[in-house]
Structure 1
C-alpha cells in the first residue's frame, strides 16, 4: 500500500497559512476602527476558518481514527492526538467570540491576534506530530479502497467548498493540482474553474494588499 493522503496534507497547509496571515493582520489592526464592510468580511472569514478547523478535526476523530485503529491495530495510539483535538475547541470558541465582537463594533479586539497566534502555534505542533505519526500509518496499513471511502465520508460531512477549494488551490504544487484534477473528475474541475474568482474578491477585502 502506498497511499499519499494529499488532501489531508493540503488541508493542514491551508490552515497554517491562514492562521499566519490572520494573526499578522489582526495584530496590525488591533484597536483601530475598521470600516463596517471590511470588519464584517474579516469576522466572516474568521468564522469560516473556525468552522473549517472544527470540521477537519472532528472528521479525523469520527471517520479517520476508527479506520486507523481497525487497520493498524496495536501499531497506532491516537490518545495524544485526540486530546489535542479537545484542546482546540475552547481556542476556536475564543476566536469566534473575537470575530463576533469585531462584527459588532468594527474594532479588532486586543486579544484576537494573540488568540490566533496561540491557535496557530498549537496547530503547528499538533500537525507536525500528526504528519510524523499518522501519515506513515495511512500509507502502510490503509488500503486504496478504504482511503477512498474515508475521503468520501469526509466530503459528505458538508464542508463549505466555496471556502475550502480556493484555499487548497493556493497551497497546491503543480503536481498536487494535477493529482487533484485527475482524482476529482468533472465536479472538481468545475469548482477549480468557478470558485477562485469570487474568493479572490473576498480575500482582497479581508487582507487588502497583504496576502
Structure 2
C-alpha cells in the first residue's frame, strides 16, 4: 500500500515557502522592481507547485478514498475538497495581484495580506490532511496509485524548473524518503538529481531568501 511519507516532505516544502512569502513581499521597497521580479518569479513558481500538488489530489486521491473509504472517508473528503476550493480562491487572488506588483513594486501591502490568507488556509488544510487523510491513504490506496500523484506533478512541471523544485522539496526531506522517491528513476537521475537539486535550490534560496538555508517549518508528524 501507499508509503505516504513523501507527502510530509511535500507539505514541509509548501509550508516553508508560502510561510516566508508575506515577509519577502513586505521586504521589497516600493519601486524596487529588480527585487520585486526576483521575489515575484519565486512566488509564481511556488504557487504553481501548490496548484499542481492539489490538482493531483483532486484527480487521483479524493475519488479513490470516497469510493473505498466508507464512513471514514465520507466524514473528511468533502472537507478536504472544500478546503481546496478555498485555497484555490486565495491562490487566484495572489495570482491576480502578483503581476502588477512584480512589474511596479507597488501594492506590496495588499499582496502580502493575500499571501497571509493563503498561508493560513494552507496550514489548516495540511494539518488536517496529515492527521485524517494520510492514515486513510495507507489503508485504501496502493503504492502504484500513490505514485501517480507524483508523476502528475512531474509531467506538469517545466523541465527548466525541475532541479530547483526537486532541491526545494528535498531541503527538509528525510534521506530515506528521498531515496525511495527516486528508487525507480534511471540510475543517472538517482545519482545526480539529489546533488543537482540541492545546489540549484541553494543558489535559488540565496537569491530569494538571502541565505542558502532558509528557516524551516517542518511538521513534527511522521
Task: Using structure 2 for the length normalisation, give the TM-score.
Answer: 0.81
Deviation at 1:140, TM superposition (A): 1.4
Deviation at 1:181, TM superposition (A): 4.1
Q: Deviations over 1:146-184 (max 9, x none)?
A: 333444445434475234211111111333334334454
Could you say which residue in structure 2 is the equivalent of 1:9?
Answer: 8
In the alignment, which of 47, 50, 64 is matched to residue 50 of structure 1? 47
Q: Deviations over 1:87-123 (max 9, x none)?
A: 1222112212332122211346211221111111111
CA distance in 2, matches of 1:150, 1:20: 24
CA contact (8 A) 1:166 1:199 kept: yes
Could you say which residue in structure 1 is the equivalent of 2:57?
Answer: 60
CA contact (8 A) 2:3 2:143 kept: no
What stretches of structure 2 of length at least 5 have no aligned partner? 215-222
In the alignment, which of 199, 202, 206 is matched to residue 200 of structure 1? 202
Large movers: runs of 4+ above 6 Å: none
CA contact (8 A) 1:41 1:202 kept: no
Deviation at 1:71, TM superposition (A): 3.0
Could you say which residue in structure 1 is the equivalent of 2:192?
Answer: 190
CA distance in 1, matches of 2:102, 2:152: 34
CA distance in 1, matches of 2:25, 2:46: 14
CA distance in 1, matches of 2:170, 2:202: 12
Could you say which residue in structure 1 is the equivalent of 2:163?
Answer: 162
Could you say which residue in structure 1 is the equivalent of 2:82?
Answer: 83
Matches within 5 A, 1:82-161: 82-107=81-106, 109-158=108-157, 160-161=161-162
Could you say which residue in structure 1 is the equivalent of 2:66?
Answer: 69
Deviation at 1:131, TM superposition (A): 1.1
Task: Select between 154-163 and 87-96 the one with higher mean Cα deviation.
Answer: 154-163
Deviation at 1:57, TM superposition (A): 1.0
What stretches of structure 1 of length at least 5 have no aligned partner? none
Question: Alignment length, in residue pairs?
Answer: 208
Deviation at 1:58, TM superposition (A): 1.3
CA contact (8 A) 1:33 1:108 kept: no
Deviation at 1:128, TM superposition (A): 0.8
Task: Using structure 1 for the length normalisation, give the TM-score.
Answer: 0.85
Deviation at 1:185, TM superposition (A): 5.0
